[in-house]
Every structure is written in structure tokens, then in C-alpha cells.
Amino acid sequence: MSTIVGIEGTGFTINAQPTYRGAAFRGTSLEGLLFNSRMIQAIFDDACPETRALWAYPDTGKWDPQRNTDEFCAALPTYRDHGLLAVTVGMQGGGSIYRPDIFDKVDNNAFTPQGGLRQPYLERLARVLDTADALGMVVIVNYFYFRQERRFEDEAAVFAAARNMTEWLLASGHRNWMLDVKNEIHKGDGLLAAGGIHKVIAHIRDVAGANHPILIGTSTFPMPEINHLPDGAFYDHVDFFMPHGNNSEPDAWRRELEVYLADPRIQGRPVLCNEDSHFVANLDISAELGVSWGYYDQGYGCGARHGKFDWQARERESSYGALSGYQTLPINWTINTPEKQAFFARLRELSTGQAR
């Protein structure tokens, strides 16, 4: 294991060195930033027989979770060559098709209802961690997603899942991972809401113990008027902050980040957006303000507008080579569309200090 992620002040380090050393953009140093991409479905599977067939590859007519992870790992070196340093991978995934008759049935879950772990997910995650480690990349591991968390029997099962997953990650020997405990916490007092998530974070730290410091964040919902800065005790428990920018046009995103960065509860720790859109204007704004930014490319065929882009404008592509996005399944993990190409080209310019 050769890659160790850390934090120094408001920036990230890899192997004790600031990321993107020497790079700057419009007068702002990019050292310490962690540009990333939401690849939440990299270890996806579906135990629901009614929906599993929907994810079949166009070229084979079958869904194959091993192929999905293998092709993702095969793409990681290309991402890294373009300057990407981190990917977010989910133990409960994310939305593929948002139609209720499908979204409500998909069973993509690394956890049992009692909080136990499902071995095939762990094996696929191990491949991702191994590949990323060899490339000097970081994996942001997301534990909980709202559409799957309801499968837990009770709060004790949530704590058990957090404990078991943390123990597994620590036992893996890898040190190239960080946590996004819950994707997009909302305001509220539930255990996995803004008012209760600190209890899960504290539990994770207790499991890890003082001899195993780990980096923990929890992302917030992309509705700035209510949720970029929801009330809760989690501010005192996280190592970095994770606002999402899906709904915000560039000028609004700048204003929101300026407010966010001025909040005294935030100052002194890194800010890392790990989900926004495929619009590089928001990447540029984040870079100008010293904020790490996360590419998010849903893909056509998801049945929803979802953020700033209308993914309902056309149907899912019928050929594997043309498949858009990195979230609607099945996924072509290569840089095969104009949206992906524009992001990775801009990322290469930023990471090498050539962007203007």
C-alpha cells in the first residue's frame, strides 16, 4: 500500500505532499485541492429480479457487476493521466433510473438489513482501492444513500453497518480512502439527517480508535436556501466539508461558495464538493475560490431532469460505445462523450497549471 491521503490546514495531501504542487489558476494556488468525480456505481449490483435486467449491456444483453468494476478500474489510469485525484464510490450506490416504479425497487446494497456486509461488494471495492492505490489516487467511500438506507431494520443496524464497514476498511491496510458518511444529508433530527449524523460519525471514530485517524465528511443537499449549511452538531465532528452544487448555475455557485467559506463553522478545514454537474464553469469557479470540485455526469435515460441539465432530452443510447454519463447504468467508463472530454481536458489544463 503506497498512497496515504491526509489533510494539512485547508488542503489535502498525498503521501505528505500537497496535491497539484506548483499549479495555480487566476491567481489562486491549486495546491491542496482534490479534484474528483462521482463514480458512485463502480461496485453496483442489483438483487431485485424485477429491475436487474434493466442494466444489461447493449452488446451482450446481460448485466455483469464484475465487468462494470473491471472496466471502471481499467479507466482509472486514463483519469489519473488527466489530473483526476479522487473518485467517489458508494456502498449503496446512487440513482440510475428515477421513475418510482424502478427507483423504489432497485436493491443495490453492500449491507444486510441487520448491518452485515455482503462479500461481493467488498471484493469489488478492494479492486478499486488496489487500483487507485497503485495510481496515487484517493477513493471517497460513501456509506449511505437515502433510497437504500430504508432497508435497514432499525438504527442499531445503521450503527452496525458503519462499524462493520469501517473495520473492514481499516483491516484492508489501505490508507487512500476518506469517508462521505451519508450522501446529501437534509435538515432534520433523524440518525442520518443533519441533526443526528454526528452520532454515526462519533461511532465511526470510536471504532477506529485514536491509533487509526481517518478523514470523515458528509455531503449536504444541493438546495442552498435550506441545506448547504443545515443546522446540526456535525460541524464539530467532520474533517472536511462537502457541499453539492447540482442545482446552482455558475453565478449562484460563486455566491453560495463565498457565503459558505465565510461561515466560521467552516473555516480552517478543506471544502470539497464531490457532486456538481458536467459544466466546467462551476469547476473554474471552485478552483478560483480554492474549493475542490466533483464532476457528476448522470447520463441520458435516467427519467429525470436532475440538476442543471435535462437528462430526459433523449432516450438511453442503444450502443455501448455511445453510452453517456457515469451514473445511469450500464456505464461506459471511458472518456467517450463531448461532456466527459470537456471536463477531462479542462482538468488537465488546471492540474498542469496551463488553464487561463
Is residue 317 within 8 A of residue 286, CB to CB? The reply is: no
Cis peptide before 330 (omega within 30 of 0): yes
For 3, 13, 138, 181, the CA distances from 17, given in Å and listed in that order, are 11, 5, 14, 25
The closest of 266, 145, 159 to 206, measured between CA atoms, is 159
The closest of 105, 99, 127, 102 to 42, measured between CA atoms, is 127
Grid cell in block for residue 251: 453565478
The closest of 271, 272, 318, 326 to 298, measured between CA atoms, is 326
Mean pLDDT of 269-276: 98
Instruction: Report the pLDDT value the prediction gives residue 56, as an integer from 0 to 100.
Output: 98
- Number of neighbours of residue 106 by Cβ within 10 angstroms: 24
Distance CA 285, CA 282 (A): 5
Grid cell in block for residue 247: 442545482
pLDDT in tens, 149-180: 999 999 999 999 999 999 999 999 999 999 99
End-to-end CA distance of the chain: 36
Is residue 112 within 8 A of residue 46, CB to CB? The reply is: no
The closest of 12, 1, 32 to 287, measured between CA atoms, is 32
- Output the CA torsion 98→100→105→106 (10° steps): 0
All residues at 6 or more sequence positions from 211 whose CB lies less than 8 Å from its CB, including other chains:
none
The closest of 201, 40, 214, 57 to 128, measured between CA atoms, is 40
Instruction: Report the pLDDT value the prediction gives residue 355, as an integer from 0 to 100.
Output: 87
pLDDT in tens, 105-144: 999 999 999 999 999 999 999 999 999 999 999 999 999 9
pLDDT in tens, 219-260: 998 877 767 899 999 999 999 999 999 989 999 999 999 999
Mean pLDDT of the chain: 96
Domain 5-351, CATH: 3.20.20.80
